[in-house]
Structure 1
Amino acid sequence: MQSLFGSIRDGRGFDALLVGFAVAYLFVFSAFPIVYNVIMSLQSVDLFNLASLDRPFVGLKNYEAVLSDPLALPIFWNTVKFVVLSIVFQLSIGFGLALYFRQDFPGAQYLRGLFLAGWIMPALVVGAVWKWILAGDFGVLNYLMTSLGLIDDPIYWLSNPNYALYSIVIANIWLGIPFNMILLSVGLAAIPDDIYEAAKLDGAGALRRFCSITLPLMRAQIGAVTALGIIFTLQQFDLIAALTQGGPSNASNVAQYWSWQLSFQTYNLSQGSVVSVLMILVVIGVALIYTRSTRHEHVA
């Protein structure tokens, strides 16, 4: 023990100490909750036996109950639409802004900072802002559309089953654009200007330079942003809680919010754990696909 503290004092064991803290942190806040969640999904857990270790083991019955639930398929498709629409527009708009701010013009840094201001805001605050924008009777969006003559009667964006899911998609897109812009800007900054200058001398237009230079050299960054965007979108809970609470009639309900409802509204903790485990498997699958694609790219 004395030799351990002595090595830390003279700096030799400091690296090992940092690694030890990192491993302990991952175990306590990542590995243990995941393992505990998986175990709960295989047991019958409710409020009466939550604090007890004596819980009946039911195997895959909870998984069968969740997957056979009439809500499972609609919520699955809602989750797919929520993720796909969010990622497509976050990535495309963020990429466009990254390309725009790559140009040197007065005030570029200040404008970039304004975009970042939305990203650092808590999701609950963003949800409150968008709830005011999308409100049916006094919302800003309805006021603008009525003033421009686009609609005659207000649209109840958050309480209409036809619009509720797309309302939270729009809010999530707005929240994720700055994150995409910053990461893609870093990748664009790493591309030498000489390559573009040489392409211009060869007569390549802007579209040709984008398709032949920018996209191939940005493939790794685009893959990383896409993977992270899927993971962050699957974790998005606050926006849904602030805007629609999964309603009306589950029209905007997605997997992460359904897991919370099962666990803390109906107190079916086992089935809530099942939904969480299924989402963890999706996240692991996305991470594996990304790491395999980047590994093949490095090998090539």
Structure 2
Amino acid sequence: MNPKRSFGSFENWLLVLGLCYLLVFAGLPLLYNLVMSFQEVDTMAPGNWWARPWVGFANYIDVLQRPEARGVWVNTGIFIVLSLVFQVGLGFGLALLFQEAFLGATVMRGLFLAGWIMPGLVAGVIWKLMFAGDFGVLNHVLLTLGLAKESIYWLSDARYALYAVVIANVWLGVPFNMLLLSAGLAQIPKDLYEAAELDGAGTWQRFYTITLPMMQSTLGAVIALGVIMTIQQFDLVAALTQGGPANASQVAQYWSWQLSFQTFEIAPGSAVASLMLVAVVATAVVYVRATRHERWV
């Protein structure tokens, strides 16, 4: 049996320091933002936060009733769903590919991960050059292959702007999904595949009967993390479209920033941020409830 650890043990002090860090640098800003979402905030006379007039849910009603609100939430939903579908799908495919031993697999895996560690703003600038209507690489490839008859102005055409941001976000998120899914695949015993192959199971049968059931927990974690990371994706929107043209690519996270720091409507901006926080917490709760029956050893 392991001896009981005293409160003054090194591990416990590390835990206390970690909790203090979270409370100061994450908990307090979140609490302050939540409080502002229920107040009337005057940027010209900020005053004490506890002395501001309380307005209840007026800020939430305001942002939900604005003419652009419906488009923002629809765009946010499309952005999250499309990003998750392609990030998880492509990440899973690459993870399965790199489970096989072939020449150059290690180098290719490293190249994929190099894209993931790139800051979002840097990735956004690179993709902005690739999406350029007159000299962009993407249009050049499409025209050369005959897949497009004329140049597509990805970032200035309302029909394509949101999907351009989705493409960039998928590229940025696939390596992270691949990494997590590769770790999950590595935990599946090889004996199961060998036994199934001896029983005559084909590639797709082994995938549906062994890989998918054994990967449920990992897939759930990847999807939950994907929702959280996509909800807070701000850099790509700022670098590519700034929510335009005509709010065609406006999503909640960028709208919250615009309200707070461009039009200085801090309280409505805080309300939008709080609604996003609710979505993040709801995602985490659903994931925890879905996996609470599992035992970790």
CA RMSD between the two structures:
1.4
Equivalent residue runs for 1:114-133 within 5 Å? 114-133=111-130
Once residues 16 and 213 of structure 1 are traced to their aligned partners in structure 2, the CA distance between those partners, rounded to angstroms, is 40
**Counterpart in 1 of 2:54?**
57
Equivalent residues in 2 for 1:224-235, closer than 5 Å: 224-235=221-232
Q: Distance in 2 between matches of 1:115 and 1:237?
A: 22
Q: Aligned partners of 1:39 and 1:98: how far apart in 2?
A: 43
Counterpart mapping for 1:1-300 below 5 A: 12-53=8-49, 54-298=51-295
Using the size of structure 2 for normalisation, the TM-score is 0.95
CA distance in 2, matches of 1:234, 1:106: 37
CA deviations 1:44-69 (Å, max 9, x no partner) are 11312335333111111111111111
Change in Cα spacing, 1:183 to 1:152, as seen in structure 2 (3 Å) is: same
The percent of aligned pairs where both chains have the same amino acid is: 57
The CA distance in 2 between the partners of 1:51 and 1:261, in whole Å, is: 22
- Structure 2: which amino acid aligns with 1:136? G
Partners of 2:179 and 2:146 lie apart in 1 by 37
Give per-residue Cα distances to partners, 1:167-203, cap 9 Å, x unaligned: 0000000000000000000000011111000000101
- In 1, Cα distance between equivalents of 2:207 and 2:149: 42
Q: Distance in 2 between matches of 1:184 and 1:236?
A: 21
Q: Residues 115-147 of structure 1: CA distance to partner in whole angstroms, max 9, x if unpaired?
A: 001000001111011001100111111111222
Whole-angstrom CA distance in 2 between matches of 1:131 and 1:282: 29
Task: Tell me which moved more, 231-240 or 11-20.
Answer: 11-20
Cα distance change, pair 51–136 in 1 and its aligned pair in 2 (3 A): farther
Amino acid across the alignment from 2:245? P
**Displacement of 1:232:** 0.3
The CA distance in 1 between the partners of 2:145 and 2:264, in whole Å, is 47
**1:298 to partner: Cα distance:** 4.4
The CA distance in 1 between the partners of 2:230 and 2:278, in whole Å, is: 15
Amino acid at match of 1:110: V
Q: Number of aligned residue pairs: give it.
A: 289
Q: Is the 8 A contact 1:43 1:56 kept in 2?
A: yes
CA deviation vs aligned residue, 1:249-271 (integer Å, no higher than 9, x gap): 00000000000000001100000
**Structure 2 runs not aligned, ≥5 long:** 1-6
Aligned mates of 1:104, 1:26 — CA distance in 2 = 42
* Conserved 8 A contact 1:78-1:254: yes
* Equivalent residue, structure 2, for 1:5: none
SS in 2 for 1:177: helix
Deviation sequence 1:154-173 (CA, Å, 0-9, x none): 11000000000000000000
Paired AA for residue 21 in structure 1: L
1: CA distance between counterparts of 2:42 and 2:262? 12
TM-score (norm 1): 0.94
Q: For residue 297 of structure 1, report the CA deviation from its aligned partner.
A: 4.4
After superposition, the C-alpha distances for 1:82-140 in whole angstroms (9 at most, x for unaligned) are 00000000000000000000001121111100000100000111101100110011111
Counterpart of 1:129 in 2: which secondary structure? helix
